[in-house]
């Protein structure tokens, strides 16, 4: 937020203006430093939208679907570390946000979600466009508020931002009935926080960390599993220092990618369902596993009772005590903010006994790299991701939708920095990729943002191309088009004996013409020479561009670990 607007609003602090709940809301958001709100109006938020008229300090972007609004707010939050904000009306507006709230909740993303509701006088009567959004979202919000009195609004706004962006981060819902948004009050900003029982970040237990340091010094085959918590706690530098001191190889989960540099000698790539051979074999042969900000998700562990069978000790560093021991029995529990835990650990860290282990890992890296059968006639999707990586040197912000292309991004794009991969991990939300790129670009106006989508997910959010065209948001939109629901097809092929059922996406639109219909430049490539040429062209165009890469539908993601099997039982595809 510009300093001028902040000072303008601070100047009101002692003037005791008599203003409506809607104006209180806008003023409260500006005082929290909100740069942009994504939303979609409707009857029960019209007072709020009316308050935006003639307010030059308040920036709002009208998406074309409420889902687009919340995914854009999510992409903004993940890429900046700030709280993302979206607004929707009551009933269907609010329920259209549910998937986005669940997406943010599963991945610990700080959002403040503002919904309108019917007036308090008709609540509970099944009034037009009434839905009990608090109850609907109870299990997928970190906290929620129903504002029944306008005088509560200033402290609710301040508290909501505090809760969303501290501890284990997550979405907070503020539901404002229509009559409350029009009630008047003498405005006074709030700085009070009063949430009973809320302990944002417990101080690290130094005894447990000391125990971990001792175990590391005795370990011969240690492995770190670094997750999204490393990124969210801004602890990438501390992790790098810790690894350099302890000489422990690192595998980064999907949400952890970028939290540790891909080019580092001790980086093993991603573990799990579509993880690298090196990462999965390291976990299965390790004598010490240290999870740092990773929750032992089932896509990482696969068959639980065969996970890390030789690990004598399992350590878990996490801000949320509920995650410790939830899926995997933990021997050393370090509860606390990862940055704080690692800062302390780095004052005492000693090297592990890992030299021969590292030699074995480097051997695996060279013998079993990620590979695919290239073609001079067809355009392989893996080649496209290598092209994106080479031309951007791993410096871009990449957002993905969900499916095969998401895994190819994780495998073949070499992330250098944290907050560079924006993807739906826990919920696996199709339609997330493109709107999240819009939010990421608004939050990072000077960085290249590339949205990588499948032809399935792109059709769940294509209408948001209107925003890119209208506001000249320069996202490079990549569509990996294989005319099929690729990840579903791959599972039906391998696990359901090629009984393909309802996966054919032939008859989807011509994406180039669709982009042009929205006023965006469209380009297409179906071989390597075309791909290299048009991608260079796309990078030179200053505004938004859609690039469609036509790839074969037969291509699968490997390695692959089937459900119910262990990490060392990988299917390697063409390279068995």
Which residues are identified as catalytic? 66, 128-129, 178, 487
Q: 317 phi and psi, to 5 degrees?
A: -105, 120
Closest CA to 123 of 134, 132, 114: 132
Of 312, 308, 105, 330, nearest in space to 205 by CA: 330
Q: Is 13 strand, coil or helix?
A: coil
Which tokens go with 360?
């074995």
Q: To 10 degrees, what angle do helices 236-246 and 338-348 make?
A: 30
* Beta carbons of 233 and 293 less than 8 angstroms apart: yes
Residue in the structure block whose two tokens are 């991603």: 270
Angle between helix 206-218 and 338-348 (nearest 10): 50
Number of Cβ within 10 Å of residue 77's Cβ equals: 30
Token digits of residue 417: 């920095």
Parallel, antiparallel, or unpaired: how do β-strands 60-62 and 37-40 relate?
A: parallel
SS3 of 161-200: the string is HHHHCCCCCCEEEEEEECCHHHCEEECCCCCCCCCCCCCC
Do the beta carbons of residue 317 and residue 292 sit within 8 Å?
A: yes
In three-state form (DSSP H/G/I as H, E/B as E, the rest C), the secondary structure along 81-123 is: CCCEEEEECCCHHHHCCHHHHHHHHHCCCCEEEEEEECCHHHC
Query: For residues 381 and 565, what is the distance between their CA atoms, to the nearest angstrom?
Result: 27
Instruction: For 412-431, give the DSSP string.
Output: H----STT-EE---SS--TT
Contact 560, 492 (CB under 8 A): no
CB-based burial label for 188 (10 Å; 0-12, 13-18, 19+): middle
Which residue do the tokens 């939109």 mark?
477
Closest CA to 539 of 448, 451, 473, 462: 448
CA angle 97, 103, 104 (to 5 degrees): 90
Cα first-last separation, the chain = 54
From CA 18, how far away is CA 344, in angstroms rounded?
Answer: 49
The DSSP H or E segment spanning 435 is helix 433-443
Eight-class DSSP state of 537:
H
d(CA 394, CA 384): 14
């Amino acid at each position: 937020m510009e300093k001028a607007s902040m000072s303008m609003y601070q100047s009101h602090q002692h003037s005791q203006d008599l203003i409506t709940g809607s104006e209180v809301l806008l003023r409260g958001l500006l005082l929290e430093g909100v740069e942009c709100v994504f939303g979609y109006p409707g009857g029960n938020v019209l007072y709020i939208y009316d308050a935006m008229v003639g307010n030059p300090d308040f920036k709002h972007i009208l998406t074309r679907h409420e889902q687009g609004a919340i995914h854009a707010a999510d992409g903004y939050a993940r890429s900046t570390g700030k709280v993302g904000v979206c607004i929707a009306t009551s009933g269907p507006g609010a329920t259209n946000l549910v998937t986005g709230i669940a997406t943010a909740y599963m991945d610990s993303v700080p959002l403040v979600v503002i919904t309108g509701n019917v007036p308090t006088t008709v609540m509970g009567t099944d009034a037009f466009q009434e839905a009990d959004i608090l109850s609907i979202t109870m299990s997928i919000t970190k906290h929620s508020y129903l504002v029944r009195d306008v005088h509560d609004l200033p402290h609710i706004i301040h508290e909501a931002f505090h809760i969303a962006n501290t501890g284990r981060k997550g979405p907070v819902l503020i539901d404002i009935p229509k009559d409350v948004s029009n009630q008047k009050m003498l405005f006074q900003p709030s700085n009070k926080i009063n949430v009973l029982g809320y302990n944002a970040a417990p101080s690290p237990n130094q005894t447990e960390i000391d125990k971990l340091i001792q175990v590391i010094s005795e370990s011969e085959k240690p492995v770190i599993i670094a997750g999204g918590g490393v990124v969210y706690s801004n602890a990438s530098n501390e992790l790098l220092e810790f690894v350099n001191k302890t000489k422990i190889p690192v595998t980064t989960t999907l949400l952890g990618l970028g939290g540790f540099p891909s080019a580092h000698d001790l980086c093993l790539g991603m573990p799990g369902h579509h993880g690298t051979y090196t990462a999965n074999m390291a976990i299965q042969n390790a004598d010490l596993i240290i999870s740092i900000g990773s929750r032992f998700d089932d896509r990482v562990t696969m068959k639980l009772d065969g996970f890390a069978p030789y690990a004598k000790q399992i350590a878990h560093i996490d801000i949320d005590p509920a995650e410790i021991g939830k899926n995997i029995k933990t021997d050393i529990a370090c509860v606390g903010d990862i940055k704080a835990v690692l800062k302390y650990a780095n004052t005492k860290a000693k090297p592990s006994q890992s030299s021969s282990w590292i030699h074995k890992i480097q051997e695996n890296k060279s013998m079993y790299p990620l590979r695919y059968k290239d073609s001079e006639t067809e355009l392989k999707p893996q080649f496209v991701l290598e092209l994106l990586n080479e031309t951007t040197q791993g410096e871009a912000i990449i957002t993905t939708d969900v499916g095969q292309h998401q895994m190819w991004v994780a495998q073949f794009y070499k992330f250098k920095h944290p907050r560079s991969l924006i993807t739906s991990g826990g919920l696996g939300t199709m339609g997330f990729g493109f709107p999240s790129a819009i939010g990421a670009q608004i939050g990072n106006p000077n960085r290249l943002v590339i949205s990588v989508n499948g032809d399935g997910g792109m059709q769940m959010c294509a209408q948001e191309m209107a925003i890119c065209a209208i506001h000249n948001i320069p996202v490079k939109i990549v569509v990996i088009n294989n005319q099929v629901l690729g990840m579903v097809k791959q599972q039906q092929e391998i696990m359901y004996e090629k009984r393909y059922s309802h996966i054919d996406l032939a008859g989807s639109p011509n994406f180039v013409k669709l982009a042009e219909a929205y006023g965006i430049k469209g380009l297409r490539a179906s071989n390597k020479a075309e791909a290299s040429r048009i991608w260079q062209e796309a990078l030179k165009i200053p505004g938004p561009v859609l690039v469609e890469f036509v790839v074969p539908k037969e291509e699968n993601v490997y390695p692959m670990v089937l459900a119910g099997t262990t990490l060392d039982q990988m299917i390697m595809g063409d390279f068995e």
